[in-house]
Structure 1
Amino acid sequence: MTSPEGDVPERIDGLAQLGEQVSDLALVVARQTRTIERLVDAARSPAAAAGADTALLVDLFALHTDAATCAVSASEADRPAFELLRAGLERLIVGRGGAVVAPPAGTDFDARTMEAVDVHPTDDTSADRTVAELLRPGLVVGERSVRPAAVVVFRSGQSSGDSVRQRNS
């Protein structure tokens, strides 16, 4: 007499196959989970490292600006040494995930990384809202501007005194 559920050995074989398939699927899910975790860790690492190194980068940046100042004001004999020191400090900053922001004249003003310390009037509309002069370089760590670059910006159609009065009113 046969049971309504079917033959018992066939059911056992079917359950064994189902168990193997579930086990294989569990291995695939575990492998994908490890891959996703590795990708998430890799994505977090630069940001976490940048966060941990921000204080160090600020100190390196201060030394960088001091070395740049010394390179400009030093004697002809000492100038190359200070310039090499400045370049080496900049490489350290970049190697640790930072970037020195030193926009040349003519670069479009970027409020995220620059601070307009002064405004020069201009009649040239193509120069409007571009950097006229770099006063002090800035520092960016990851996506965050830690020290904005101090710049003078061209502005067409108004004098520098007008812009200050507009901000204060």
Structure 2
Amino acid sequence: MTDTGQRTEHAHDRTPDQGERTIDTDTDTDTDTDTAAVDTDSHTADGAAVPTEPGTGGRTAPAPAVPETTSTAHEPTRDETAALLSRLSEHIEDLSRVVARQAATIERLADEAKARDRRERAGADLPLVTELFALHGDTVTCAHTAESDRDRDAFTALATRVERLLTGRGATLVAPRPGTAFDPRTMTATDVVDTADAEADRTVEALLSPGLLVGERSVRPASVVVRRHRPAAS
């Protein structure tokens, strides 16, 4: 009797422990299930974490609202447009002036290069130029003294050809016309005649023989007759 009663008491004593173990098991199961549900809901299909709202049992937090932006593009007024066009016109004018100056500079440099080339070539061909000049004088004399028109035309054509050769070598024939101002640098006064016209003083009356100018150098001055003003006797 005593043993049976002790076993019964011990059985009653264990009943609360077993009940506690049962409650603990249920609690653990429910906690694990909720945790698994939260973990499953907190991740997307590609494994990225999704924010959850606290205190909602793991529900996904709503996406933050994106503020709407409105376009406020400024349209220029008529006065602003006119000012822009005016500045653009000024820029175009400035560019035009720059291009014109550059073109003038390029043209000047090209002319200087050509003149320098002519001077250098004329200096190297000076003996040949002198011989051509003498030949030109002989052909002109033959043209003036030819007895027939056929010979005159032939010598004139030859003189024209020689003159072209001189020009190609950088030389220039000095042949002033009557009334041209006397230039002592390229002319020599072989004879002088009087004139009553004051405005005709120191001008060419007639050309006796042409001169030769090579570059800026006067190789042979032209022989001319010069007028000299002399008031008429009263």
With normalisation by structure 2, the TM-score equals 0.49
Aligned residues: 121
Is 1:49 paired with 2:121? yes
Alignment partner, residue 63 of structure 1: 135
Q: State the match for 1:99 in structure 2.
A: 172
Q: Secondary structure at the match of 1:106?
A: coil
The DSSP-based 3-state class of the residue aligned with 2:218 is strand
Name the aligned partner's letter for residue 143 of structure 2.
A
Deviation at 1:42, TM superposition (A): 6.0
Match among 75, 87, 96 for residue 160 of structure 2: 87
Q: Tell me the distance in 2 between the aligned counterparts of 1:127 and 1:139.
A: 25
RMSD: 1.9
Question: Which residues of 2 match residues 1-169 of structure 1 at below 5 A?
Answer: 44-76=116-148, 77-157=150-230
The aligned residue for residue 35 of structure 1 is none
Deviation at 1:47, TM superposition (A): 1.7
Q: CA deviation at 1:50?
A: 1.1
Contact 2:206 2:226 in 1 (8 A): yes
Return the alpha-carbon distance in structure 1 between the equivalents of residues 141 and 121 of structure 2.
Answer: 29
Distance in 2, matches of 1:133 and 1:72, equals 16
Give 4+ residue runs of structure 1 displaced > 2 Å after superposition. Answer: 38-46
Percent pairwise identity: 55
Contact 2:191–2:226 (8 Å) recurs in 1: yes
Segments of 5+ residues of structure 2 without an aligned counterpart are: 1-108
In structure 1, C-alpha distance between the alignment counterparts of 2:141 and 2:135, rounded to whole Å? 10
For the pair shown, the structure with the greater C-alpha radius of gyration is: 2
Point out the structure with the larger strand share. 1
Residue 202 of structure 2: SS of its match in structure 1? Answer: coil
**1:46 shift after superposition:** 2.2
Distance across 2 between alignment mates of 1:72 and 1:42: 36
State the distance in 2 between where 1:68 and 1:49 align.
Answer: 26
